[in-house]
Each structure stands twice: as structure tokens, then as C-alpha cells.
Amino acid sequence: MSTIVLNSSVDIPLPDWLKKCITHSKTSNGNAESDRRFNDANLICRAFEFAYQLHQGQYRKSGEPYICHPVAVAGLLYDLGGSPAMIAAGFLHDVVEDTDITIEQIGELFGAEVRQLVEGVTKLSKINFKSKTESQAENFRRMFLAMAQDIRVIVVKLADRLHNMRTLQVMPDEKRRRIAQETRDIFAPLANRLGIWHFKWELEDLSFKYLEPDAFRQIQQHVSEKRTSREEKLAKATATLRDRLQQASIKCLDISGRPKHLYSIYQKMQRQQKEFHEIYDLAALRIIVETNEECYRALAIVHDAFRPIPGRFKDYIGLPKPNRYQSLHTGVIGLTGRPLEVQIRTMEMHHIAEYGIAAHWKYKETGNSNNSHLSTTDEKFTWLRQLLEWQSDLKDAQEYLDSVKDNLFEDDVYVFTPKGDVIPLSPGSTSIDFAYHIHTEVGNHCAGAKVNGRMVPLSTRLQNGDIVEIMTQKNSHPSLDWLNFVRTSAAKYRIKQWYKRSRREENVARGRELLEKELGKTGFDSLLKSDAMQSVAEKCNYHSVEDLLAGLGYGEITLNLVLNRWREVVKAQQPLAVVQPFLPKESAAANKALRDAPATSRASDSPIVGVEGLVYHLAGCCTPIPGEPIIGVVTRGKGISIHRQGCHNLECVEYERLVPVGWNPAAEHSSRPHTYPVNIQIEALDRVGVLKDILSRLSDQGINVRYAQVKTAIGQPALMDLGIDIRDRPQLEQVFVQIKKMSDILNIRRIGQIDE
């Protein structure tokens, strides 16, 4: 590192690679290679100086100048072999969000390529993955669309996230945990899927540090204590293998030990339910040779020098991982009698293992650093193409999230066709998943399956190396039962599509039955014909209510999603205020509009608006009355239950089951006003006639008493539980005032009263 001053009094520490770019930007020898270097370095330096000036006066939480962050991000991209445009985007990725510069100005100053990268990263920065299912699914869609336009966008974002994780210690604990959780759930798996192991392990370890700090410190301490002993054992094994490889005339480019990162050790402890001292393979030996053939020859030497452990050999050269990772893995018993993992690969494989897709830029045969754009048509991005294909097909948010999990966050299982073709499937896949992967018609007419030459149930989970043969019959067709065990989103989607086309009437009836069970039979036919239900269908991307019922019947859309859309429509037509934690506070204005609306605007004489045509009942736990804010809860088989807001029984109710409702002023002022049961408890001095006096006062106010129960004890006040019928909250308050005026009354309260 050195220090220079750029038109400013602030000294900026510069890494060596940036110093080299500054040097190249000032010299050009006139030949093509020199001119290319000059132009590349000039772009990088202009981006750095531009970001430096814009971020001047801005500081990070740690107190260091903000420009240190873009410099670090650009450095990570430089180390990955990123193009000048990527490195420039690393410098500029925060300027649109943190300064007054527009994305159009970025394009004018640095070109369309840099603009596209900066714009993509800026959009990704606004995504919040910790949200409701539907919002989270939409955020994933946006992220994958950005990746499809240019895969380098997510690489810049990963570099940004990695440096933020390195400096996370200055953040408040709650924010640290939130960012760490998002990193472990989203960005570390992305780095793994893109094959950038160099990023993946550090993102996982840093997340581990903040999410399980005690476990992190313990494992870190254990690893540190055993480092000397472990290095001595690895040195002996390394010397033994180096000699044996040399004797076999195999050119060993490198052989070295690699400690396993802390989070992988923790995962193994959790998976195997073992303590740290029971985990032996804390490091791996890596052997790098020149050719694929020498990899297998080296494997034979390793197995000859050490005793192999059965079941621990994996050939990722013949069957590469989806992220292009290739290597031979084997477990052996080392010189000290402890397990030792050995990895064997070529130098090209090693570069791909460390840098993933970035190896395309850093270690390509052409040496042309400008050829850095990767297309999603490349075989290595099959998983991304599949996700993009489901974008428009999968309407259900949870189903789309499941497809994301299938393609992004889990490694594949490899099975074979009878002809020996390799088919990658999600872990837990069945013969039905295999059939639909081959062809839709093979899946639709599947009648049975053989695995390794034996007939098996269609629900049998496939394992690595299984040879699968599908038997078809012309008259066979999918069964809805298949949805209970198929694993891949592709198979689920195609099964539902078949039912959508071939059994519409049956699906409509099934969808109607499901919806009627939730909303109740009373007024259901009228509800289906209403404009509100048509709006629900359109919100769910269907042309008609019948199409919606058909989709619900064959499982294209979930019942919860339909109910959510119905609540949105009801809320829009009957806007009501609901206080936290149930609905946003912004609806307060809408509530006032409802109160101020003329009585003739109410749809019916029902005491409750928002449940027209539906079965409902007042909850007995809190006995709501007019004048008190209320909320509806969808129940199973009993319609809508009306509660007072703040009722303790609502604390564990899912947000999706809540329905905005309110009192109907037209019903309150009708000629025959409704009354509502309220239970009260009165504490009074125990004397003869006290209950009679209380009942007399209630009678004077026209209050009906449904029941009265008195509890007395020697030397104690009398407790009287009364059930009374009340019109509204003001009348109840008047009752309390009149009873409290009696000299013998010690206390009066409403049973089931909610703490204010």
C-alpha cells in the first residue's frame, strides 16, 4: 500500500494493483497491446477518481472515509480477474444511491456497459429478502432477471456484500444478525452456485461469527490449539505423497494442506451430532497435476500409500457439479491412523474451484480480458435458465420459492438413463421427476419404473448412480397423488398442467368446494357472481371466476393466496383502520372515511361491514361491542370470528387470516338496534340487598340482565358476575358510571377486558 493525493487534502491509501493501473493510464507505447492496457487502466482510474470526488466527506460507521469501501470492492473484482468495466462498476456501485449522480450520467461518462452493471447492482441493493412469501418471491424474480441480463451484476454484488461482512462489527447487534442471516441464506449459496468458493467460505464463516458467536469462538479456539500438530501430520503426508508421485513420473504442480473453514466444521458437528474432538478430518490435502489422466494415476498412488475409507470416494471430474467444480475426492487413513481427505485436480480445475465463473475471465485461453460477458445460454447456467422459465409459469409465490430452493440452494443427485446419459436432479427426486425431466409426454404416460433393473414404487427416492428406466402406457395419465412425493418444480408444474387441460369441470367443482369450506355456504353463490370475486380472479391473473376455481382445484394457485387477494379486495371496498400489529397504521384515514360515509352507502343492515354474505360470529373471549375497534379472523368451518383489536387470542394468529371489518352505523341507528352480550364483575361490600340495588339501577337504564352470580366469604367483599345486554360502548360506560355512584361499590370491571 502507498499514499497519493488526488486533487484533495485527504490522503487515500492505494493497493498495489491500483498503483499499477495509474502507471499504465499515463503511458502508451503506440502498439495494440499497450493501447488496450492504456484504455483499460484509464477507465479504471477515471472511475476511481470520480467515485473519490463524489464520496468525499462521506464516512462509514467505522469512521474511515467511505471511498475505502468501493476501493475494497474493486480490489476483490480485480483479484477475480474481472474486466475493466466490472472493476469500474466496483468503484461506482454506490454513487447513484448515495450521491446526486443519475444512472444516465454514469452512462454518458463511462459507457453503456458500466452503466448496465451499476444499474443492476443498484437495483439489487434495494431488495429486501426478509419479507412475506409473496414479496420475497418477487424479489427473487427481480434478482434472477438482473443476473440473466448480465451475470457479472451478481458478482459485483457478492464482492460488495463480502466487504460489508468484513466490516460488520461496527453495526448494532440486531442489524449485524439480520445482514448475517441474509448473507448465509441468500448470498453464500449464490456464491456456491456460481462456483466462487473463494467468496463462499468467507461469507459463511463471517455469517457464522455473528449468528452463533459462542460456537464460532469455541471452534476457532479448538482449531488454533491443534494447528501445530495438524501441520506436522500434513507435512509428513505431503512428503510421502510427493516422493511417490515423483517415483511414478507424475509431475506434481503443487501439493499442500488446506484447513477446512470453521462453518463447514460446525455443519459437520451438527449433521453428525459430534463434539469437536470427534471430528478428525479438519484439513484436506490438495494435489494439483497437469492432466485428467494424471489425476486418476495420482488417485491410485494415494490409495496405495494410504488405506482408503469405503464410501468416501467421489469423482467430480467424470460428474462435475452444476457450478462446474471438478476434482477427485477420497478419504484415507493417514499416517497417524486418523482420517485424511485428499483432493486431486488439474490447475484449470483448481482455478474453477476457487473462482467459479470468474475463472472464465481470469484464466481463459484467449487471454482477452475484454471477453468477459457470460451468456445464460451456456450449459453452466442451466439452473438459471430453468428459474427464468418458471418466472411466468408459476403464479404461486411459495411454489416459486420452492423452485428457487431446488435450483439454487441444493446440490444435485446424478442418475443415469439406460443408455448411460447423466441426468441431474434435485435431492429427494423420484422416478416421476426423472420421467418429466426426459420429456413431458414420458411423465404424462408413466406407468412404472425400474431402478437398477428392479421394479420400484414411483415414490422411491433416487440415489447417486441409480440407473432409471421408465415404462409408459398410452392410456396412463398423471395422478394427483404424485404431487405428494414429486420433488422438482418442473414435475409439479407439468402434473398440474395436465389436470388443468383435461379435467376442467372436476377442477372447478374441487376449487369451489375448497373455497366454500373456508368462506361458508351462506351467500356463497352470490359471492361468486359478485364484482368483488371477479376482482379477486383478475388479481390472481385469471380472466374469470371459473378459471380461478379451476386453478384452485388442480393446485395451480393456493387457497391462502386466493383468500389473501379476497381480503385485499374487501379492504379496498370497505376501508377500515386496524392498529398494529395486525394491519398498517396508514388505514386510519380510510377508517375516518368509512365513519363519515352516509348510512345509505352501507351494503346491508348487518351489524358488521366487511363480511357481507359470509358466516360470522362475535368472539366470546373479548365480547366486542359497537364503538370498539374490531378485526375479523378466518376460521376453519365457522366463518369469520369477530374480535376486539388487541385481544390476547390474536397474538398467535397468522397475518394472512386477518380480515378488515367494522361496525355498520346504519344497523346501530335502525328502529330495532342490536344488543350484545357483555360480562362484568362487581366487587362490593357484603350487605343484604346490594345485588337488588344494582339490578334496580340496571333496570332503570333499560339494561337486560341475562344472569347473575354472587360469591361471598366471611370477612371478604362480595363478588358479583353479571351478564348484561348492551347496545354500544357509550351505554356500557354509562352503566359503569351509575353503578360506581353507589357507596357500597369497591370496584367494577369488564370480564375479558383488554389491557390498554
Q: Which residues are catalytic?
A: 97-98
Exposed e or buried b per residue across 453-479, where buried means at least 16 C-beta atoms within 10 angstroms of its C-beta: eeebebebbbeeebebbbeeeeeeebe
Q: Do 708 and 695 touch, CB atoms closer than 8 A?
A: yes
Instruction: Give me the residues paired with residue 342 across strands.
Output: 285, 330
- Which DSSP string do the residues of 340-367 spell out, in sequence order? EEEEEEEHHHHHHHHHGGGHHHHS-TT-
Nearest to 287 by CA among 333, 237, 334, 325: 237
- 3-class SS of residue 195: coil
Distance (Å, whole) CA 234 – CA 515 = 65
Beta strands 252-259 and 283-289 are antiparallel
Q: What angle do CA 661, 662, 665 make, to 5 degrees?
A: 150
Q: Do 477 and 535 touch, CB atoms closer than 8 A?
A: no
In the chain, the amino acid numbered 321 is K
Neighbouring residues of 590: CB distance < 8 A, sequence distance ≥ 6: 575, 576, 577
In the chain, the amino acid numbered 22 is I
- What letter would DSSP give residue 457? -
Q: Do 695 and 705 touch, CB atoms closer than 8 A?
A: yes
Nearest to 532 by CA among 500, 491, 565: 565
- On the 0-12 / 13-18 / 19+ scale of CB atoms within 10 A, 367 is exposed
Distance (Å, whole) CA 114 – CA 122 = 12
Distance (Å, whole) CA 114 – CA 117 = 5
Name the H helices within 248-339.
262-272, 292-305
**Structure-block grid coordinates of residue 354:** 476457487
Beta strands 454-456 and 446-451 are antiparallel
Strands (DSSP E) contained in 639-696 are 640-644, 658-659, 662-663, 676-684
Q: Do 631 and 643 touch, CB atoms closer than 8 A?
A: yes
The distance from CA 397 to its chain's CA centroid, rounded to whole angstroms, is: 11
Q: Which residue is associated with the grid cell 407439468?
A: 494
Neighbouring residues of 605: CB distance < 8 A, sequence distance ≥ 6: 664, 666, 667, 670
Neighbouring residues of 742: CB distance < 8 A, sequence distance ≥ 6: 684, 693, 694, 697
Q: Which residue is associated with the grid cell 494415476?
A: 297
Q: How far is CA 441 from CA 127, 446, 473, 478, 482, in A?
A: 39, 8, 11, 10, 15
The distance from CA 477 to its chain's CA centroid, rounded to whole angstroms, is: 34
